[in-house]
Chain A
Amino acid sequence: MQTLNINGKDTRVEADANTPILWALRDTLGMTGTKFGCGVALCGACTVHVDGVATRSCVTPISAVAGKKITTIEAIATDKVGLAVQTAWIAHDVAQCGYCQSGQVMSATALLKGNKKPSDADIDAAMAGNICRCGTYARVRSAIHAAAAVLA
């Protein structure tokens, strides 16, 4: 049993302290927007923000985030950068199967919060950890540039 601050709300989570955030979200709280892809921080599908930092929730135990603010895909639109990213994602028709896109959106939002005008190289570096098997990368790049332009 632990209390986590998830999307601005203190939430009681009935799970062992070593449970990764991912499974506390998905299986304990029923918040399935955050996805399971690899389980070992290699694919980025499970990305959430912990105090604004893009974090792989599949390898981060809930014990490590006590007292920190966790933001998930379900609430990222309440952030103006997150909203701009999602809006660009839709306008650029980024998603194909869509499964990895929660993680892509979360990583892109974290990038733009720290870098208002990322270059292609910045995007490559920030997004290399987010695998998309459908190959939406070209549109991921253009949507990030578009979101940056809207926020500028």
Chain B
Amino acid sequence: MHFDSAFNGLAHQLPKGLLARMELGLDTAPTTASEGLPRRSFLKMSVASGFALGAFPLMAGAQDAAPVTPVGLKPYEQPAAFVQIDKDGTVTVTINRLEFGQGVLTALPMILAEELDADWAQVRGVHGDADPAYIDPAFGMHITGGSGSISHSFTQYRELGARSRAMLLAAAAEQWGVNPNSLRTAHGKVIGAGGKTLAYGDLAEAAMKMPVPQKVVLKDPKEFRLIGQATLRLDAPAKSTGKQNFGIDVQLPNMLTAVVMHPPVFGAKLQSLDISAAKAIPGVKAVFRTPTDRGGEGVAVVAQGYWAAKQGRDALIATWDTSALEKVDSVAQLAAYKALASKTGLVKFNADMSPLATAPQKISAEFTFPYLAHAPMEPLNCTVQITGSGADAKVNLWLGTQMPGFDALAAAKVLEVLPKNVKVNVQMAGGGFGRRGVPTADYVVEACHVAKLARVAGLDVPVRVMWSREDDVKGGYYRPMHVHHAEIGFDAQGTVLAWDHVVVGQSIAQGTPFEGFMIKDGIDGTALEGMRDPYDVPMRLSVHHPKVNVPVLWWRSVGSTHTAYVMETLIDEIARATQQDPVAYRLQMFGDKHPRHTAALKLAVDQSGYGKRQLPVGQAWGVAVHESFGTVVAYVAEASVTKGVPKLHAVTAGVHCNLAVNPKTIEAQVQGAALMGLGTCLPGAAITLKDGVVEQSNFADYIVARLPDMPRMAVHIVPSADAPTGMGEPGLPPLAPAFANAIAKLTGKTPRDLPFKLA
């Protein structure tokens, strides 16, 4: 997910308003060390072989005396919650984000290990659970989104490593009776006079009693030996051998599995229900009505395992009351959106539109973008365990989640317990792309209702609520459908005289706790991010936010999923209309104001052979460049169109993400995001509704990119030592327009409807 970049500078102010709004205490950041931390110990010593991964970092039972901590350091600045050094030298780094493919379980430990001077071979990473220490320092809450894991926590994790190192140095200095300044560190050891060494594992116990330094000197980037190295993922072995557990793999004693029959129209309630056949399925333990998202009602089938639960659900006979609900029809919705797009909406920024009437050349364009499901490979799931009752009730949740704090609050509300009595056990997630960061916590709320009602039905056991793929595809929280309308006037040199642009699409933030800071003057910033910049054109940009009975959500790269397509294909059209090379035209527009755009585009162009290398007959180049989440990605695409079917053959990427922490992961993120961007072009990559019901149900009719779709890809990174910017999402937006621009060159016509239609 992404928060409009305009808010990034204010990020430290955002949480207060947000938190006040939610009346929560869970995600707040205590400002002194006296709060939030006492149950952990820094540099925790393992007891012989008693180190248990599952117990970390909540080690209440094995708690040593709290270390001396300075007043003034926030919990997220103190090593206590982040670093554990075992006797054998193993360094365990807790990450304050969700690992769901983007590689932060490797990159964040790399950053910390760099300043710690740890031996990388002994470093590993674990997830932190919902906890005040694990907030995103910029957002002020425990959240994985906005491509912010590295960009927001780079300095944080360096300082955590440097503080830990200083404490180890102090411990060694005390042991040897020397000044710490006379010592140095390397590969997990403190090195003293004459080359004598003390291993971190042997120093950990003494080090944890040392004061935590407030100020630390960080390395000069020139001294980095880990950061910047192409590093294999720490989770690669487990993920290549089937040993990696995900949320869906959680197994608890006596656990039952539930599936829920969702209403066919969002928010519908049951009219009639026959559960007799469902109850007769062997393994089914209970069948009951349960609240579902948006005030709807569904039916939970609780059973021994998924198969019995699913069979039970398939045997339910239900009718639904949809009389009071808007029943969306995508065809009618598109027509309504197009009508809206012909009128100026809420104005984000303005310019003189009078030159449009007299401009020598004009482009009038309308673009359409469908709803898109995230469809992460691990279907949504949440396991709930409730123990005790009344005020003493305790709740454990197990799930892969981008926003554990929100989930805990939502669970507390449903289960009527104090938020502090809800523990979110953050699990590795099989993808998410935004779907595991839901302000309404829809699938967590649903799971809590089911667990609560199961208990009422006499099933006092942990309940794992699982979604089928059909539930996922039909379950809403889509990338919103959009229509763009542009009227552009320009001269023979390609100078834009006036650009009138209207965007129509549902607001993602409306009605969520994010509304207060993501929506300004009625305009949801996420719908417009990526518009105009970096092109300094006189644009009037306005937006309509219709209310529609379809839940929407951020989807990898959010607004840029559509704005980049519109901007980059229109810029190309202007270049073509004025007989200019699309690269030269862009570079001239960037001027000296956008050096990172220029560097990324030039790198991609140079490496691709654009303009120099002859492409096979029937192929053409296409170019696009776009900044999102602080990172600029330029693509040079090589594509063909055969019998009306476009094919992307090769892509060369130029990436400007400032300092590249792990180039190996960055390459993977660019490849993966590009592939997902390509997926938005494929015929069938659309969610549509008829009579309020989603028409697609699984990968047969909701099309995603498959291996044969993958083009040859080369990823090149612009060298830089500046503080790193986002990498999980920025590779997505420019892919589709680069592909489309190549198609336009071959056919003379830019596709303006996504997904592409087969000729």
CB within 8 Å: A-B pair count = 176
With contacts A28-B305, A45-B377, A141-B707 taken as known, whether A90 is within 8 angstroms of B237 at the C-beta atoms is yes
Give, as a whole number of angstroms, the nearest-CB distance from B744 to chain A. Answer: 24
- Mostly, the B contact residues are loop
Binds A, one of B100-108, B157-165, B538-546: B100-108
B235 CB contacts on chain A under 8 angstroms: 95, 98
Q: Any chain A CB within 8 A of the CB of B699?
A: yes
Within 8 A of A (CB), among B302-326: 304-307, 310
Contact segment of B25-33, B443-451, B669-677: B669-677
Are A102 and B242 in touch, CB under 8 angstroms? yes
- Say yes or no: A98 contacts B239, CB within 8 Å: yes
In the complex the two chains form, is A99's CB within 8 Å of B377's CB? Answer: yes
Residue interface bits B422-455, CB-to-A below 8 A is 1, else 0: 0000001111110000000000000000000000
Knowing A89-B236, A95-B240, say if A131 contacts B706 (CB, 8 Å). yes
- Which residues of chain B are near A141, meaning CB under 8 Å? 707, 710
> What sequence of 0s and 1s flags, for each residue 466-498 of chain B, a beta carbon within 8 Å of any chain A beta carbon?
001110000000000000000000000000000
Q: Which residues of A contact B704 (CB under 8 A)?
A: 131, 133
A23/B306 in contact, CB under 8 A: yes
Size range of the chain B interface in the assembly: 35 or more
Given contacts A37-B377, A43-B699, A97-B100, contact A140 B707 (CB under 8 A): yes
Chain A residues, Cβ within 8 Å of B674: 135
Bound-state Cα–Cα, A140 to B249, Å: 24
Among B102, B244, B304, B705, which residue has the most Cβ atoms of chain A within 10 A?
Answer: B244
On whether A73 and B377 interact (CB within 8 A), knowing A89-B236, A138-B713, A141-B710, the answer reads no
- Most chain A CB inside 10 Å of its own CB: which residue of B239, B704, B705: B239
Taking a contact as CB atoms under 8 Å apart, the answer to whether A98 and B244 are in contact is yes
Interface residue B276 (Cβ < 8 Å from any Cβ of A): no
Closest to B672 in A: A135
- For chain A, residues 78 to 117, give those with C-beta under 8 angstroms from any C-beta of chain B: 86, 89-91, 93-102, 105
Q: Give bound CA distance, A113 to B131, whole Å.
A: 48
Q: Which residues of B are found within 8 Å of A128, using beta-carbon distances?
A: 706-708
Q: Find out whether the CB atom of A96 lies under 8 angstroms from the CB atom of B668.
A: yes
B20 contacts A by Cβ under 8 Å: no
Specify which of A72, A74, A93, A125 is in contact with B233 (CB 8 Å cutoff). A93
Interface of A is mostly: loop
Taking a contact as CB atoms under 8 Å apart, the answer to whether B468 and A39 are in contact is yes
Question: Which one, A39, A72, A94, A97, contacts B376 given CB within 8 A?
Answer: A97
B375 touches A135 (CB 8 A): no
Give the chain B neighbours of A123 by CB distance below 8 A.
707
B358 in contact (CB, < 8 A): no
CA distance A20 to B468 in the complex (A): 15
Interface residue tally of chain A, by bracket? Answer: 35 or more
Cα A130 to Cα B698 in complex, Å, equals: 14
Chain B window 699-718, contacts with chain A (Cβ cutoff 8 Å), 1 for yes, 0 for no: 11000111111101100000
Q: How far is the CA of A100 from the CA of B310 in the complex (A)?
A: 22
Query: With A and B bound together, what is the CA distance between A102 and B246 in angstroms?
Result: 12
Q: Residue of A at shortest CB range from B378?
A: A99
- Give the residue among A19, A43, A137 with the most B Cβ atoms within 10 A: A137
A10 within 8 A of B: no
Bound CA–CA A140/B429 (angstroms): 20
Which residues from A are CB-within-8-Å of B379? 36-37
A134 at the binding interface (Cβ < 8 Å): yes
Q: In whole angstroms, what is the CA distance A91 to B240 when docked?
A: 10
On whether the beta carbons of B431 and A134 are closer than 8 Å, the reply is: yes
- Set B233, B245, B705: member contacting A95, Cβ < 8 A: B233
Report which of A42, A98, A100, A129 forms a contact with B700, defined as CB distance below 8 A.
Answer: A42
Interface centre among A19, A127, A132 (most CB of B within 10 A): A132
Interface residues of A (CB under 8 A from B): 15-16, 19-20, 23, 26-28, 30, 32-40, 42-43, 45, 72-74, 77, 86, 89-91, 93-102, 105, 123-125, 127-141
- The 13 sampled A-B contact pairs (Cβ below 8 Å) are A16-B282, A27-B305, A37-B469, A42-B700, A90-B236, A97-B100, A97-B376, A97-B431, A98-B428, A99-B378, A133-B676, A135-B710, A136-B668
Contacts A137-B671, A137-B707 aside, 13 further interface pairs with beta carbons under 8 A come to: A19-B307, A32-B251, A33-B241, A33-B242, A43-B377, A96-B103, A97-B100, A97-B428, A99-B378, A127-B707, A131-B699, A135-B673, A135-B710
For the complex of A and B, 3 pairs with smallest distance between CB atoms:
A33-B242, A99-B430, A98-B239
